[in-house]
């Protein structure tokens, strides 16, 4: 940052002092802006940025102390040096100025040498502050990125998505992407080549995003996620198709793939255009259900779901893969939604229409003692199926008929079909 780029705002009602400062600084090449009152100076700062402020203490209207306090509150975390101009050299005045937000004092009558020295000293601090701020911003950017692929990480992805979901209700969509047979790719070509594959696929995905509202993250090993703000299902499908084309254009050889001779992807899409979900977890769970369907149907394809009155089958488990296998014959009749946290069940109970909840044994005791969630489930007339990991029903709790002992010991799938009957 050169001196000629620096702007100094001088808030001073005395035309004599203004001329003195203008003369003293003319040779340094700074851009000088003069305001004759605190109100005028504040109006200028509302529209412009400056590098340094000189502020007279005694002015008509609001005085320098109050002006300094307002400037600091408006600038918030942005730091600009403020130097008080005053003829009062008392300790009390100096302390009051510092407390109001000023950084230093310049005593009138103004000495050109002292004036220039203070500016040089503060401009060094300004440069150092901006350099540190820039480095901090770089670190923030790096901390939000996945180190291998350059995509955003899951924490940043979740934060950005939550920002959109907490705003004005809009159509939002999520896309989950899985590289087909990537484990076999690593086994065939090695992990170093596998990492290069991940980088290329990630780059193709990021290049397929449309605007700042499309947030791309590395969701897991070979899995990527996109959150598309203000995007309905068909528009999300267009993005997904572009991603598939761009990945195919890479033509990365994959001789171990069972669907093509090059790297391909499976894609699941979910749009909340019908239900207006305001929580990320159920949106991603539904996108994951769509991805699971894409993989089950042969991979290398796109499956899209929207939230048209959902007939969801909610599964509370820490082993979703196990239950996906157990429910394979009924999954086409439901949108499977997997949750791994009891708190998430409470959140989605008001957002998603579902009549059957499967609870694995790891959550059984905790759910039975959570009266708040039980009350919600009773209001929704949800049938709760307690199942062991092998898919054998221990008990069905139907809030209309309390415990249903007749389901005890029955296979999970047949029990689900009977309840959905």
pLDDT given for residue 190 in this prediction? 97
Domain boundary among 273, 288, 307: 307
Sign for the pseudo-dihedral over CA of 39, 45, 47, 48? positive
Tokens for 319, please give them: 């082993």
Per residue, what are the HEC states of the chain? Answer: CCHHHCEEEEECCCHHHHHHHHHHHHHHCCEEEEECCHHHHHHHHHHCCCCEEEEECCCCCCCHHHHHHHHHHHHCCCCCCEEEEECCCCHHHHHHHHHHCCCEEEECCCCHHHHHHHHHHHHHHHHHHHHHHHHHHHHHHHHCECCCCCCECHHHHHHHHHHHHCCCCCCCEEEEEEECCHHHHHHHHCHHHHHHHHHHHHHHHHHHCCCCCEEEEEEECCEEEEEECCCCHHHHHHHHHHHHHHHHHHCCECCCCCCCCECCEEEEEEECCCCCCCCHHHHHHHHHHHHHHHHHCCCCCEEEEECCCCCEEEEECCCHHHHHHHCCCCHHHCEEEEECCHHHHHHHCCCCCEEEEEEEHHHHHHHHCCHHHHHHHHHCCCEEEEECCCCEEEEEEECCCEEEHHHCCCEHHHHHHHHHC
Please tell me which residue in 222, 234, 351, 401 is annotated as part of the active site.
222
Question: Does residue 111 share a domain with residue 191?
Answer: no
Confidence at residue 45, expressed as pLDDT on a 0 to 100 scale: 93
Question: What is the pLDDT at residue 250?
Answer: 97
State the total domains in the chain: 3
Residues 246, 137: one domain? no
Name the token pair of 234.
């068909």
Partners of residue 214 on adjacent β-strands: 228
CA gap 273, 310 in Å, rounded: 12
Burial grade of 215 (CB within 10 A; 0-12, 13-18, 19 or more): buried
> So what's the pLDDT on residue 404?
57
Q: Cis link prior to 123 (omega < 30° from 0)?
A: no
Per-residue pLDDT at 343: 85
Alpha-carbon distance values, 69 to 56, 82, 119, 220 (Å): 13, 11, 21, 48
One domain for residues 214 and 114:
no
pLDDT of residue 123: 86
Task: Provide the domain limits for residue 379.
Answer: 309-421
> What is the C-alpha separation between 111 and 122, in angstroms, rounded?
17
- 178 and 284 both lie in a single domain: yes
* Greatest distance between any 2 Cα atoms in the chain: 97
Based on the domain organization, do 120 and 69 belong to the same domain? yes
One pLDDT digit (tens) per residue for the chain, 421 residues: 444 468 999 999 999 999 988 888 877 878 899 999 999 999 999 999 899 999 999 998 899 999 999 999 988 778 899 999 998 989 999 899 999 999 999 998 888 889 888 888 998 888 888 888 888 777 777 688 999 999 999 999 999 999 888 877 778 999 999 999 999 999 999 999 999 999 999 999 999 988 777 999 999 899 999 999 989 999 999 999 999 999 999 999 999 999 999 999 999 999 987 666 778 888 888 898 899 889 989 999 999 987 544 467 889 998 888 887 777 767 666 778 889 888 888 777 766 667 889 999 989 999 989 998 888 888 878 889 999 888 888 888 876 554 555 677 888 888 887 887 6
Report the pLDDT value the prediction gives residue 120, as an integer from 0 to 100. Answer: 87
Cα 354 to the center of its chain, rounded Å: 28
pLDDT of residue 377: 87
Residues 130 and 18 in one domain: yes
- For residues 303 and 293, the answer to whether their CB atoms sit within 8 Å is yes
> From CA 180, how far away is CA 66, in angstroms rounded?
64
Cα separation, 90 vs 260, whole angstroms: 83
Contact 71, 78 (CB under 8 A): no
Last residue of a domain, one of 307, 333, 360: 307
Task: Please state, in angstroms and rounded to a whole number, the distance separating the CA atoms of residues 399 and 143.
Answer: 47
Residues 55, 98 within the same domain: yes
Same domain, 86 and 161: no
User: For this structure, is 413 an active site residue?
Assistant: no
CA 136 to each of CA 52, 108, 145: distance values in angstroms, whole numbers, following the listed order: 22, 38, 14
pLDDT at site 353:
65
- Nearest-CA neighbor of 273 among 239, 304, 312? 304
| Torsion angles phi and psi, residue 143, rounded to 5 | -70, -20
pTM (2 d.p.): 0.55
- In this structure, the answer to whether residues 245 and 126 fall within a common structural domain is no
Q: What is the CATH number of the domain that holds 212?
A: 3.30.70.270
Shared domain for 173 and 291, answered yes or no, is yes
What pLDDT was estimated at residue 89? 85
The last residue of a domain, from among 81, 109, 143: 143
């Amino acid at each position: 940052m050169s001196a000629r780029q620096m702007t100094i705002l001088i808030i001073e009602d005395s035309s004599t002092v203004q001329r003195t400062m203008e003369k003293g600084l003319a040779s340094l090449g700074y851009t000088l802006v003069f305001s004759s009152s605190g109100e005028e100076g504040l109006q200028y700062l509302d529209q412009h940025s400056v590098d340094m402020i000189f502020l007279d203490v005694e002015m008509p209207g609001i005085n320098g102390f109050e002006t300094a306090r307002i400037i600091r509150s408006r600038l918030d975390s942005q730091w600009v040096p403020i130097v008080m101009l005053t003829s009062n050299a008392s300790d009390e005045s100096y302390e009051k100025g510092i407390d109001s937000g000023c950084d230093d004092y310049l005593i009138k009558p103004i000495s050109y040498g002292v004036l220039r020295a203070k500016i040089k000293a503060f401009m060094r601090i300004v440069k150092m502050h901006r350099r540190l701020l820039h480095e901090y911003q770089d670190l923030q950017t790096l901390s939000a990125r996945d180190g291998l692929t350059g995509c955003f990480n899951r924490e940043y992805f979740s934060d950005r998505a939550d920002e959109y979901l907490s705003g004005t209700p809009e159509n939002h969509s999520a896309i989950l992407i899985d590289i087909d047979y990537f484990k076999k790719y690593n086994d065939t070509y090695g992990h170093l080549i596998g990492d290069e594959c991940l980088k290329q696929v990630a780059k193709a995905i990021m290049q397929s995003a449309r605007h700042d509202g499309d947030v791309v993250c590395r969701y897991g090993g070979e899995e990527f996620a996109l959150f598309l703000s203000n995007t309905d299902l068909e528009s999300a499908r267009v993005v997904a198709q572009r991603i598939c084309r761009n990945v195919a254009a890479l033509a990365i050889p994959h001789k171990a793939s069972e669907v093509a001779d090059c790297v391909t992807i499976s894609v699941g899409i979910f749009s909340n255009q019908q239900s207006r979900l305001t929580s990320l977890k159920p949106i991603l769970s539904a996108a994951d259900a769509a991805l699971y369907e894409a993989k089950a149907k042969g991979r290398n394809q796109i499956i899209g779901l929207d939230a048209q009155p959902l007939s969801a089958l909610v599964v509370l488990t820490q082993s979703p893969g196990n239950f996906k296998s157990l429910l394979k014959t009924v999954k086409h009749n439901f949108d499977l939604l997997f949750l791994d946290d009891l708190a998430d069940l409470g959140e989605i109970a008001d957002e998603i229409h579902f009549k059957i909840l499967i609870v694995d044994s790891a959550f059984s005791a905790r759910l039975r003692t959570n009266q708040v969630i039980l009350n919600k489930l009773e209001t929704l007339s949800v049938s709760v199926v307690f199942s062991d990991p092998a898919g054998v029903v221990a008990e069905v709790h139907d809030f209309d008929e309390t415990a249903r002992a007749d389901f005890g010991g029955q296979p999970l799938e047949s029990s689900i079909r009977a309840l959905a009957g």
